[in-house]
Structure formats: C-alpha cells, structure tokens
Amino acid sequence: MPIEKKFFKKKRKNSLKDITMRPFKRSEKGMKREMESNSKVIPIFFAVDDRYISFLAVTLTSLIENSSKNYQYIIKILCINIDERNKKKILKYEKENVKIEFVELNYYLQEIEEKLYTRDYFTQTTYFRLFIPELYPQYDKAIYIDSDTIVLGDISELYNIDLGDNLLGAVPDCSVQNNKEFQDYVERVVGMATYKNYFNAGMLVMNLDAMRRFDFQAKFLYLLETIKFAVAQDQDYLNRLCKGRVKFIDEVWNTMPIPNENIKKEDIKIIHYNHMFKPWHFDDVLYENYFWKYAKKTEFYKEILNIKAGYTEKEKFRDQEQFKSLVRLCKKETACVGDDRYLLSKESEMEKSEDRLKILKKIEEFEKNGDFDIDVEEDPPTIPLAPEDVDYLRKKSSSKIKSKIANHMGKKFLDDLLKENKLIIKEIKGLENLKNVDTGAIITCNHFNPFDSFAIEKAFMESGQNKVRKMYKVIREGNYTNFPGLYGFFFRNCDTLPLSSNTQTMIEFMKAVDTILQRKDFILIYPEQSMWWNYKKPKPLKNGAFRFAARNNVPVIPIFITMQDSEIIGEDGFFVQEYIINIGEPIYPDGNLSEKENSNIMKEKNAEVWKKTYEEFYKVPLEYTTEVKVKK
C-alpha cells in the first residue's frame, strides 16, 4: 500500500492541528520502495482535476520527450475524483524509466476544504503542493510543476540544482515584477522585504527534508487558521513561510508569455502559460507554437482545439475582467494594511443606487416593527387569476410547448448569469441531502433576490434530480398575471405555480400541489412569504409549505443560502454576493401524528436548521431589532 494511503486510513480529528501529518519512520524497506534508494530517481508532482487532464497530457509529452534517459522519473499526480478513463489515457505515457501514479486526496481534502479559500480560476487542488513534504517522507527532494506548462529543457538539470539549506528553488514572479499594484501588495500584505523576492509557485524545486525539519506543514496550517491571503492564495502562503530561504533559479525555468528582453527564446527551459496567457483560449499568445507542437502529439489534440473553438467572447471578456478584479483586490488588500483592516474598497468610491438605499432603510424599519411577511419592493399590480387562466399541470398542448421553450431559455439564461458573474455560486453544501430523496418533496429556501430561485435550480441540476423529476416554483399572483417582458414569460411558463386571490383558483392550486407531490416531483416554496433584498437573517416561517408536506406525507428539504461580498461591483454600486447554498437533511413527517402536529413540528425543525446555519456561517447569534413581538 502506498505510504500516503496508509496515512489516510488513520483516524483523524477535525482540528487542523490534529490532522497535521506526523513524520513517518523511514524504514529500510520503505526507502527501497519505488526505487527511492536509487540516486537516479527524480520525483515529480502535479496537482490536477478532470478539467486539466488534456493539458497535463501536453505537459507530460514535452517533459518526457526532453528528459535525460539516464534517470528514473516517478510522477505523482495529486488529484480529486479523476475519471477512470482519463487516468487510463495518462497512464499510457509510462515508459521503462517513467512511472505514473494518480493519488486521490479527496478524503484528505474533506478535513480542511472549508479552510481553503479559492477564487476565479483557482481550485482547491492548487493547495496540494503544500502537503508533499509530509505525504512523502521517503523523498528528500522533488519537483512540482503546474500542468499549464511546456517543458523544453532536461528536467534532470533542474532537479540537480543545489539548494543548500534553502526550502525551495523558484523563479521570481514575472507578473509581480511588472505591476506596481502587485508589488505593493506582496511587500505590504504578504510581508516580502522586496517584491523582487516574490516567487511564482508554478514550478518549484522542493527541499523536502529541509521543509520537514522546518515543520513547514504545521506552520502552514497555523497560518491558514489565522490569515486569509485572497490574491494568490497558496502562493502567498508559500512566499510568507519560505522568505529568506529560497534559492532563486534562472527565469528560463519558469518563463511566462510576457515579452522579456533578458530571455533568449533558445534558452527557455519551461514555459508557464499562467493567468490569461493560455493558447487554448486566446490567439497570438507568446510562445504558443511550443504548446501546439506538443498538443498535436497527444490524443487530446482535437479536444483541445474544440475547447478553443468553443471559448466565447464572453468568456474571454470575463478572463480580462478577472485580471482587472485581481488588480483591484491587490489595491484593496494593500490599502487595508495599517488601518485595522478597515474596508477601503471600490464599494466606497462608487455611487450606490438610491433605490437600493431606500430598500435597505425600509428593511430596517420592517424588521424593527416585526413586519417580516411584507415585501419591501413594489410588486406588479395583482389581477385576479381565474381557474381558466392557468394550466397548473400543463395538460394543454400549448402549455406544454411554452413550458418546454421557457425551460430551455431559462437554462441558457442561468448559464449567462453565471458566466457574467451576475449570479455567483461559490459552493453547494449537502448536495447528497437533495440527491438521495426518491419521493416528492417540498424545498424551502430563504428569499432575498429575484435570482435566488436560479441558485436553487442550479443545485437541483447538480444533484441530478432534474433527470428524473421536475421542480415547480410557487410564485405570487401578480408575478404571473402582470409581469412584463422575458421575466414575465419565465414566471408564466417555467414550471410555476401561481397563488391566487380567487378561491376557486386556489382549490385548483391545491389539487395541483397534491398531484405534483404524489407523482414524486419537487416544489420550491419561500415560507417566509416576503422577499427582502440581500437580507441575511432567516425570517419567521408561514405554515403553508409544511401543511402541503404533511398532507402528502413527503419530506421538507430545508435550504438556507448564506452570502458574502464578491470582488465584483454590480450596476447598483453594491458588491455582487457570492452564494453558499446550504442543503439540510430532509425533514420527514411522523406517521403517528396528525397533519397539524406534523406541520408545526416540521416548521420548527426547519427554523432550527436555518438558525443553526446562519449562526455557524456568520459567527453571530440570530437576533432581531424588533421592538414588538415577532409575528408568527
């Protein structure tokens, strides 16, 4: 059994300190494993997910083709949930002197994933390089390389560079050397004596023995709990921990596609296509010919061409905006230093929407008065909805056609919202609680934005439930009868269930709810009744959703969306919110209780789940400013 898998079988506690890996005893037998005792062995590490398999293949092709045949190369690919078909494709690159192994770390990642901050194109796999020293005590030295690289030099030359007692060998980050905002950030926030010593972590020669003696991993985990570096994340931690103990290597070993008069093309050893400089996304990237030369030699070549052909102008614009956002974030972080981290951000410089400010003021007044079930924004005028005006179960041919068209358009609309960062879903937690329900169900959710139903739609699709059942949405009467434009079309046709002020229509509504739940479809209901823009607290719940569930003997799935500021300013002058969708365990009715008893108990349990989620995320007790008794 590989040594890293032995470790993961140990029982671990949840504290980061408790999961710090203890050094393994380096037995003589262990030293011989995988030819470690052979001085000609070179360990090389990558960290990828499925999205980067094709580019990893290109990197491996270039590395193996240009490597000395006088060495044995052990390539470890640290990963999470890689498709077995992709593993088989990569394992074909093994040769007599090249051994490849995939190391699944998803079970380890679960212990600390909430601590690992990610942003934009970063993923949690980027942190894996920080755990190599303790994962592999049988190695005293190793190379780490990002998989958006081309290796033109002999990798053994890089490995044989003498590091002395330094922790790392690395190349100064070219992006930082050419950008004043980045320079200020790494000196004032990361704490570098000079920006010239800030290195890029896409290529590292790692002195694993020295890192273990330095107790590197324990110190990283301590920093992870006490400091959040939001710009370059794990690279910032590496620079902070290793400063003063880095051997700077010639920049030809980590050359970025940026014009540099100090580098001759024929001297380049490794090209690093970082940030926006990706030839599989953009044209005219410097040194792109080297990438395509090796891409053509892989079975992924057509797939990579398709990736480039399908990369839209919106996505290219998004990448450019992300880089601008990164610069703004550097300025924001730098401005905070020395001011008790007071938020000096672009938000304070932009004029905020008067309408939004009025809404926020109104929310304060409503909370103070306990008017939790009243909307703070003006609804469209309500036109009474007669029974003949709505086909709840889409029995008519025209209703079916409109529904099919609307759902198709809605899916595209959701994709556009996500691509344009108008809707940002940072994380979905508890997806198994949605995935594992095989009956009809009521989904409850807090209501704070017109787009929050799209967030639930995204979770519904991610769970795979959309393949076997529909999710209907209960909406207001006015939204169905009198909402204009595209949104009105969605309100009327995207599997919606409008309420009504007409008694006979409500009878039909109730019948439809029962039918939908009994045929094992889901219904999304906002039990708070009102929508308050960006209001973070859970509001008191109404009974309706829970009566429907109790009457039909189906569970309630409580979802509470928490939010935090993103780095993007919306047109209203406020930060676009990043959503964390928290899906609680299903709440089932008790067959021994009456409908009313079940309804009350399920509502109370739902409220408890929301309260707990709120308090754990925001780290404050749930309290209201209400001066009168909260309405039930």
CB atoms near residue 156 (< 10 Å): 16
The predicted structure's pLDDT at residue 15: 41
List own/partner pairs for 332-341 with CB under 8 A and 24 or more apart: 333/185, 333/189, 333/230, 333/231, 334/181, 334/184, 334/185, 334/188, 334/189, 337/188, 337/189
Answer whether 403's CB lies under 8 Å from 497's CB.
no
| Mean pLDDT split into 10-residue runs, the chain, 632 residues | 43 40 38 50 93 95 96 93 92 96 76 44 59 90 96 97 94 88 88 89 95 88 76 82 92 92 92 90 93 96 95 85 81 70 43 84 91 82 85 91 89 85 89 94 93 91 93 88 77 89 93 96 94 93 95 96 86 87 96 95 96 92 77 44
The predicted structure's pLDDT at residue 2: 47
- Starting at the edge strand that comes first in sequence, how are the strands of the sheet with 441-445 ordered? 424-429, 575-583, 556-569, 441-445, 522-525, 471-475, 496-498
On the CB side of 551, how many CA atoms lie within 13 Å of its CA? Answer: 13
The predicted structure's pLDDT at residue 21: 40
Helix boundaries (H) for 114-266: 132-135, 155-159, 174-177, 180-185, 208-213, 216-226, 234-242
The predicted structure's pLDDT at residue 492: 87
Answer whether 150's CB lies under 8 Å from 62's CB.
yes
CB atoms near residue 517 (< 10 Å): 22
The structure's pTM equals: 0.52
The predicted structure's pLDDT at residue 34: 46
Q: How many Å apart are CA 515 and CA 394, to the nearest integer?
A: 12
The predicted structure's pLDDT at residue 322: 77
- Domains (ranges, CATH) in the chain? 3-311 (3.90.550.10), 381-618 (3.40.1130.10)
